[in-house]
């Protein structure tokens, strides 16, 4: 008997409508092939690999369950959208990623109807998705709104401003928290610890979901009993999570790489939701590619690389990098002046503050992706007698512009800004 030739399922998928014709089993196979295609493409172009590999199953499941592009899928930052681009009509151009005249490395409205909202700077997705949801409520021809946001990106103030507003408005909206317990560097902050606690809580998402569904249809006394049963099943108390206190229905944690579980949860959430829902998906950054899973940064951003070994092509110039010169210099000054501290918004490595952090861990503050807070925090420290060095890329400091003016400059406070990456980027 001869083996039947293996036809890749991915070859039958140009647009999400093609995914919706596949069986659940084929969707899983499609995700595996999509992962391989993403690795192969990024090995030729370089780019954000780890984040994209972490959302392969989510990408397939969301497009299979929701009716994109009528339903609006908003990726936070957009650096994890390569698998999304491959299944939304751009597979033939995926190897032009981040090249001149090629595909953008982020979502971009002018590139595709499947990119309803552009991004690159983090923590905007919930606000934008809520905007789409309200446009729908006010009669515009647009469907469900789904934001996918990482545990790093949900550390920024804007995300909370949006959750606060969404919980108050109370309209149907889906927020998928893609929790890989990583930002670019390991995440810091109280919220990060809180999410890690939730992620450990209960793997019984599907059961919880079923318990919720049953409870909702029972008369009051029975419902209370069912809710107690649900607590026993899930380990969660009713309204135990922060998200529930803010007015969201919380579903999770769910295994973000288990296609059957994802499809089940997304389908039932889609069928039942009447208000805002937060789905907590636990994922692995770099999933399915050993060199990425094993590296410290999970291959957040890579140069071109060899797929078999994971070894990246070197792109380091011979001249000393600004980042290292700054990092070493600050460390020398800090040794002689105990008032000197470094402040970074989730980018200790990118800004060079990791050099001081390694030498004197207590003298560097990683505040999470929170540039506005970083600047005013530095201002407060300066007013309190310290000598803070606030190291933020020029593009992200845009977000702290008012704080630079209002909290630092107008009060003439001694905060030093180390502003990097103001020029053209890319190899």
Ligand X SMILES: Cc1ncc(C[n+]2csc(CCOP(=O)(O)OP(=O)(O)O)c2C)c(N)n1
Nearest distance, CB of residue 246 and ligand X, angstroms: 19
- Peptide linkage before 253 cis (omega within 30 of 0): yes
Stretch of 63-71, 72-80, 288-296, 305-313 lying at the interface with ligand X (CB under 6 A): 72-80
Return the residue matching tokens 């959750």: 163
- Take residue 174 and report the two structure tokens written for it: 């889906």
- Take residue 172 and report the two structure tokens written for it: 């149907």
396 touching ligand X, by CB under 6 A: yes
The interface mask with ligand X, positions 212-251, x = CB under 6 A, is: ----------------------------------------
Q: Tell which positions 328-357 bind ligand X, by CB under 6 A.
A: 345-347
399 touching ligand X, by CB under 6 A: yes
Stretch of 6-14, 75-83, 336-344, 352-360 lying at the interface with ligand X (CB under 6 A): 75-83
Q: Which is nearer to ligand X, 9 or 184 (CB)?
A: 184
Residue 399 a catalytic site member? yes
Q: Which is nearer to ligand X, 28 or 79 (CB)?
A: 79
Q: Which is nearer to ligand X, 43 or 153 (CB)?
A: 153
Q: Tell which positions 22-51 bind ligand X, by CB under 6 A.
A: 51
Q: Which of 107, 112, 42 is nearest to 76 (CA)?
A: 107
Look up residue 88 and give its DSSP letter: I
368 touching ligand X, by CB under 6 A: no
Dihedral sign, CA of 65, 68, 73, 78?
A: positive
Nearest distance, CB of residue 338 and ligand X, angstroms: 29
Nearest distance, CB of residue 200 and ligand X, angstroms: 18
Enumerate binding residues for ligand X (CB under 6 A). Answer: 51, 54, 77, 79-80, 121-122, 150-153, 180, 182-184, 285, 300, 345-347, 369, 371, 396, 399
Task: Give the catalytic positions in this structure.
Answer: 285, 371, 399
């Amino acid at each position: 008997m001869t083996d039947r030739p293996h036809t890749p399922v991915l070859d039958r998928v140009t647009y999400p409508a093609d995914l919706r014709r596949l069986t659940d089993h084929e969707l899983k196979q499609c995700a595996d092939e999509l992962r391989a295609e993403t690795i192969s493409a990024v090995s030729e172009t370089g780019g954000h690999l780890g984040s994209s590999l972490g959302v392969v199953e989510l990408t397939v499941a969301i497009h299979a369950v929701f009716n994109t592009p009528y339903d609006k899928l908003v990726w936070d930052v957009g650096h994890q959208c390569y698998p999304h681009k491959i299944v939304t009509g751009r597979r033939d151009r995926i190897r032009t990623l981040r090249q001149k005249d090629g595909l953008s490395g982020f979502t971009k409205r002018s590139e595709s109807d499947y990119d309803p909202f552009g991004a690159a700077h983090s923590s905007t997705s919930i606000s934008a998705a809520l905007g789409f949801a309200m446009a729908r409520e006010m009669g515009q021809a647009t469907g469900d709104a789904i934001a996918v946001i990482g545990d790093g990106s949900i550390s920024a103030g804007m995300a909370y401003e949006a959750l606060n507003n969404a919980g108050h408005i109370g309209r149907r909206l889906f927020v998928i928290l893609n929790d890989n317990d990583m930002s670019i560097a390991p995440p810091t902050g109280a919220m990060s610890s809180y999410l890690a606690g939730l992620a450990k809580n209960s793997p019984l998402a599907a059961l919880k979901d079923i318990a919720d569904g049953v409870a909702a249809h029972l008369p009051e006394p029975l419902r209370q009993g069912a809710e107690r049963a649900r607590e026993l099943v899930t380990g969660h108390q009713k309204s135990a999570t922060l998200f529930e206190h803010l007015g969201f229905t919380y579903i999770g944690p769910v295994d973000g790489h288990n296609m059957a579980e994802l499809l089940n949860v997304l389908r039932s959430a889609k069928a039942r939701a009447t208000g805002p829902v937060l789905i907590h998906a636990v994922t692995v950054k770099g999933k399915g590619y050993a060199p990425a899973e094993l590296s410290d940064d999970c291959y957040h951003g890579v140069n071109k690389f060899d797929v078999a070994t994971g070894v990246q092509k070197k792109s380091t110039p011979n001249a000393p990098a600004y980042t290292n010169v700054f990092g070493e210099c600050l460390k020398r000054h800090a040794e002689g002046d105990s008032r000197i501290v470094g402040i970074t918004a989730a980018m200790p490595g990118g800004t060079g503050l990791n050099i001081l952090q390694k030498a004197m861990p207590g003298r560097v503050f990683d505040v999470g992706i929170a540039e506005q807070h970083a600047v005013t925090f530095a201002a407060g420290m300066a007013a309190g007698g310290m000598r803070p060095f606030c190291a933020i890329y020029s593009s992200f400091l845009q977000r702290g512009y008012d704080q630079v003016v209002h909290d630092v400059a107008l009060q003439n406070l001694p905060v030093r800004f180390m502003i990097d990456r103001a020029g053209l980027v890319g190899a």
